[in-house]
Amino acid sequence: MAADTFTLPNYAEPALYSRSNLAPITRTVKFALAGLTGAAGSVADPIETGDVFKIFKLPPDVKILSGALQVGDLDSAASLTLSLVVTNGTTTKYIFNASTIGQAGGSVTSRDAAANGFIHAFSANAAIGWVVDNDNYYLALNGTAGAAGAGADDDIYVEIQYTSALESNEATFRT
């Protein structure tokens, strides 16, 4: 089958956002691949190269603080790599790039600089510390390299933390 785009049900919900709240906002989503059908009618398990999972939209003028990814054993072999990204379809910023976490299952967090596939905040294409500059961005999980076979599990948990408390030079989007 060909790569497909899978849109989670919560993708259509409004982005969580508050200018008056200085505390970070944490959004989490847990989903099972078996429960998803793509735009082309294909099922999500196993993940193929080029598969895109649109998770939720992000509000403008928020700074990405951290991200985490927990998965079960998604690949019965050792070829699957996953990227957790903030994108608008044209510009892409990475939280994790080509992480092998789905090959045997486990978790990675951007708060651990040694995490598998983590993109350091000083990298040009890093999402951590980056300010979302328009209202078209969303969080997505991409199949960078497809699974060689369906693994024993199909659960995925994604977490991202962001803040609307910006420094005076960070806000770029105005309504």
pLDDT in tens, 1-51: 578 999 999 898 878 777 777 889 999 999 999 889 888 778 888 999 999
Q: Token digits for 31? A: 């989903």
> What are 159's strand-pairing partners?
28, 68
Q: Model's pTM, two decimal places? A: 0.92
Residue 78 and residue 24: Cα distance in Å, rounded? 36
Domain 22-163 has CATH 2.60.120: yes
List, for the chain, all residue ranges whose pLDDT scores fall below the cut of 70.
1, 171-175
